[in-house]
Amino acid sequence: MTEFDSLAARWRWSTAANTIERLRCLADDLEAVAEGRVPDRPDTLMTTWAFATRQAPCIIGNSFGHPKIDEGRRAFISEVYYVDPDRRLARTLSRWYRLGSHNPLEAIPGISSIRDH
């Protein structure tokens, strides 16, 4: 198995219909933000978060209330499409996040090993 085969297996869940549905939901949420409507309190909380990059902007932090990430686990979340630090909200492709305390990348133990590679 090549490295590409491994990556392809990870993304096998993604279908055109699934992607369209997720992007449409994202577009609806961003339109609501433009009209002044934002969620009061999203279910998913990201604490000690910082901006990071994958191939696109994302957030790394400790996740709580996420349907697929263990409670309190440090995680990179999907691409960020909207951030409002004043309201402590972020919208990724898949969901809204409440933002807890902000931590710059330099303050996160072990992050230099990720950034250096």
* Beta pairing class for 73-76 and 80-84: unpaired
Q: pLDDT confidence of 18, banded at 50, 70, 90? A: confident
Task: Say what the pTM is.
Answer: 0.58
Residues whose CB falls within 8 Å of the CB of residue 106, separated by 6 or more in sequence, listed in order: none
Tell me the pLDDT tens digit for each residue of 31-75.
999 999 988 889 999 999 998 876 777 888 999 999 989 999 988
Residue 104 has pLDDT above 70, yes or no: yes
- Burial class for 50, CB neighbours closer than 10 Å (0-12, 13-18, 19+): middle
Half-sphere exposure of 41 (CA within 13 A, CB side): 1
Question: Which one, of 85, 78, 53, lies nearest residue 63 by Cα?
Answer: 78
Is pLDDT of 2 > 70? Answer: no
Q: What is the pLDDT of residues 73-95, one digit of tens each?
A: 988 888 888 888 888 999 988 89
